[in-house]
Structure 1
Amino acid sequence: MSQVLVLNASYEPLNVTSVKRAVVLVLKDKAEPIEVLVQRKFRSERRSIPYPLVIRLVKYVRVPRNVRLRISKKAVLARDSYRCQYCGRENDYLTVDHVVPRSRGGESDWENVAAACPACNTRKGNHLLHEVSMSLIRKPMAPSYIVLILLEARTVHESWHPYLSYEIRPVS
């Protein structure tokens, strides 16, 4: 685990940072460790610090939330939990589909793009959903800022789950 979840003073997730940066924040008393690996520690001559997994800033940081994430394949797939939004299957080769095709006036915005497996994307083609008797599992919408955090993280550690109340948690 080489990344640490950073929480605001109010326990809302802010971002993901390196372990080195997290330790520096803790040493400067700008953050406190919330979740740690007890088995691993950073040691110096005078101090021992548990390996942080989640840290919380001591002072509240005001963050603008009106920033919209740019549409990218990676962001759309993360928002849609890496599942086809037509059939629900997980697939390693997902594509991004325009619900209302661009050739029919559909925009490239969050409310009109969805993850689709190649089979469903081909089946839908240049048609509207009702024309091919298909429907979406979940209506597409702009993702929460939590998606930004997940895109930055290489892996989501189990200890992060209580702090990430995100709607894109993988479905069992």
Structure 2
Amino acid sequence: MSQKVLILNQDYSALAVCSMPKAFLLVYMNKAELVAASTTEKLHSITQTFPFPSVIRLNRYVYFPYKGVVLTRQNIFRRDNNCCQYCGSRDHLTLDHVLPKSRQGRTSWDNLTTACKYCNSKKGDMTPEEAGMPLKQKPFRPSFIMFLRNFSGILDSQWLPFVGAKMEQIV
């Protein structure tokens, strides 16, 4: 039961992703309604069978003032596909400031990238251009929907109408 469920606000905008047991509980307690169920799986109790939720919609609108992705180490790694942005290695990953902190480089989405320990120490206190180490991808701030769609690691085709993507964009 490690499947994830997309939670929609009352206006059908994507709000969050939660575990299947939590989603089932929200539906069972009439705090949410089932929008899409799994076509392959069912939940079974001793006497009943329930649809396995894939997308649920809350019955009340939840005001969510900040719908952004929190800047964390793991979220930077997810955005960069757990891959060094200089050499492509997946081992011994660290964070690198593209413009070094010693040169007033900020800790922000646009200045942090994933680097292996070797590339990070080789680049040192230089910019990628000065070190002759071009980035594979320029750092960027992902939107909330983009993060749910591309970086959460969940590829459920029933989510596509609500997160706005085609399946080939996700894979």
| TM-score, normalised via structure 1 length | 0.73
**Aligned 1:14-163 pairs, distance under 5 A:** 14-38=15-39, 39-43=41-45, 45=47, 48-65=49-66, 69=70, 71-87=71-87, 89=88, 91-146=90-145, 156-159=154-157, 162=160, 163=162
CA displacement at 1:97 relative to structure 2: 0.4
Task: Give the 3 Å change call, closer, same or farther, for CA 140–53 of structure 1 in structure 2.
Answer: same
Q: Distance in 2 between matches of 1:160 and 1:115?
A: 31
- The offset of 1:74, in angstroms, is 0.8
Give how far 1:77 is off: 0.6
1:119-146 deviations in Å (ceiling 9; x for gaps)? 4323312111221223333332333235
Unpaired stretches in structure 2, ≥5 consecutive residues: none
Compare relative contact order (CA 8 Å, sep 6+) and give the higher one, 1 or 2.
1
| Secondary structure at 1:24 match in 2 | helix
With over 3 angstroms needed to count, the CA separation of the structure-2 counterparts of 1:118 and 1:67, relative to structure 1, is: same
After superposition, the Cα gap between the structure-2 partners of 1:158 and 1:79, relative to the gap in structure 1 and judged at 3 Å, is: same
C-alpha separation in 2, matches of 1:80 and 1:119: 17
Instruction: Give the aligned length.
Output: 164
Using the size of structure 2 for normalisation, the TM-score is: 0.73
Check whether the contact 2:55–2:159 (CA below 8 A) recurs between aligned residues.
Answer: no
Secondary structure in 2 aligned to 1:111?
A: coil
Percent identity of paired positions between Structure 1 and Structure 2: 35
Q: 1:16 to 1:85 in 2, by over 3 A?
A: same
Question: 5+ residue gaps in structure 1?
Answer: none
Give the secondary structure class of the aligned counterpart of 1:122: helix
Contact 2:155 2:170 in 1 (8 A): no
| CA RMSD in angstroms, aligned pairs only | 3.2
